[in-house]
Each structure stands twice: as C-alpha cells, then as structure tokens.
Structure 1
C-alpha cells in the first residue's frame, strides 16, 4: 500500500479491510513524513505495531 492510500483509509468514514502479513489490522495513525503507520492487530487495543505502509495490504 502507498502512503496516500493509507491516509485515505485512515480518514475515511467507511470501513476498509486491511491486513498485515495476512492478519487483519485497523490503521490507528499514519505518519506520512516517515511512511509509517501504527496499526491495531486483532481486537485487542493494546496490541499495536508501527510498520512501513508498504507492508499493509488492502483486502478485496
């Protein structure tokens, strides 16, 4: 995924399916200057990772 699409999904009112290495995630923050996103993995709010947006995939 590119940084612009990550920003679009983060700012959208709709819900989009996004995954990180096959695991569903929610985008919680996008850092466009560094190309990074903080995502919540699964349903536990404390289970977060900061990853390069290139690792994220929008699911169909």
Structure 2
C-alpha cells in the first residue's frame, strides 16, 4: 500500500477493509519517513505492532 493511501485510511472515520498477512487490521499511525505503519488486529489493540506499508492490502 502506498503511504498516501495508508495516511488517508488512518485519518478516516470510516472503517476500511485492510489486512496484514490475511488478518483484518486497524491502522493507528503511518510513519512516512520509514514507510511503516503502527497497526493492530481488529478488536485487539494490545497486539500493536509496526509493519512495512508494503505488507498492507486494501480490499
């Protein structure tokens, strides 16, 4: 996923269907300099992690 789209999704109040390795996730923050995103699986905010934007897929 490109960083501009990831930032749009993170800022949007509308839930967008995005997965990381097949797991539905919520994008919490996008780091445009490192091209990473802070994410967590839906309903599991305690499992926060940082991943490369390239591992995210919008459906």
- Report the TM-score, using the length of structure 1 for normalisation: 0.90
Conserved in 2, the CA contact under 8 Å of 1:36 and 1:50? Answer: yes
40-49 vs 28-37, which moves further = 40-49
1:6-55 deviations in whole A, cap 9, x for unaligned? 00101112110100011000001110111000101231211111001010
More helix by share: 2
2:53 is matched with 53
Aligned length: 59
Q: CA RMSD in A?
A: 0.9
Partner of 2:31: 31
Return 5+ residue gaps in structure 1 as ranges: none
Normalized against structure 2, the TM-score is what?
Answer: 0.92
The corresponding residue for 1:44 is 44
- Asked if 2 retains the 8 angstrom alpha-carbon contact of 1:26 and 1:39, the reply is yes
